[in-house]
Amino acid sequence: MTTKTDALLEIGREFYERKWMWGMSGNLSIRLSSNPLRFAITPSGINKGHLSEKDLITIKDSGRAAVSPQNMTRSKDAIPSSETVVHQAVYRTLPGAGAVFHVHPIYSTLISKLYGDPNKVRMLKVEGVMMMKGMIGLEEDMAEVAILPSWPDPAHIARDLVAYIQSSAKVLPAVLVHNHGLTGWGATPEQARNHLEIIEYTCQYLFFNRLITR
């Protein structure tokens, strides 16, 4: 029987083969429980296309802002990503989020640089892209995608993400990070993957549309 962590390992292989997680980049997590909050996350410094169960790190949320060695289970060589705090922020803010993925697909990264700002959150208005209707909670082909600054301290990215979620009337389950990549979530790993696919398709559309209409 497939377990939650099995799904995480399989999606890591899939994203690596898609060239969304070059080298050892990106991080993927899945919620294991809600009370207390526990989630499994991929480690830093390891190729996500060749992960095994023993490589995953289990985080138990202690209610503190930062993740500490006392609230994680891992193999001795596993190093948690500095972006673990972003995953933690999504799970804390959205009880329905069951998986959070951060990847580096080329078109999402290019669009985040073209339309984003390194110092403040920008909203990218998307119209006329029918694929966007596949995003959970979106019933039309018009939406605004948040582009967050890529701060050196991931805790600041987490802060901006929570502010976006809490202040927006219509929150899309994915955001761009300026010149850095794409973070998305969903109730299940499959739903989170679908959200990333839709945003990457949309960014590819926007990129080529910009080229042919200049």
Domain with 193, as residue range(s), is 4-212
Percentage of the residues of the chain whose pLDDT score is greater than 90: 75
Bridge-based pairing of strands 181-186 and 174-177 is antiparallel
Per-residue model confidence as pLDDT tens digits over 15-70? 999 999 999 999 999 999 999 999 999 999 899 999 999 999 999 986 554 454 54
- pLDDT given for residue 110 in this prediction: 98
Any idea what the CATH number is for the domain that residue 158 is in? 3.40.225.10
What's the average model confidence in pLDDT over 71-94?
A: 84
Query: Which pTM was predicted?
Result: 0.92
The enclosing H or E element of 200 equals helix 189-212
Tell which wins on pLDDT, 149 or 143.
Answer: 149
pLDDT for the residue numbered 214: 76
Q: For residue 101, what are its two tokens?
A: 């993925």
Sequence letter at residue 27: N
Task: Kindly report the three-state secondary structure assignment for every residue of 43-64.
Answer: EECCCCCCCCHHHCEEEECCCC
Average predicted confidence (pLDDT) for the chain: 90
Number of separate domains in the chain: 1
DSSP structure string for 119-150: TS-EEEEEES-GGGGGSTT--SSEEEEEEE--
Alpha-carbon distances, residue 83 vs 29, 53, 140, 204 (angstroms): 11, 20, 32, 25
Pairing of strands 174-177, 142-148: parallel
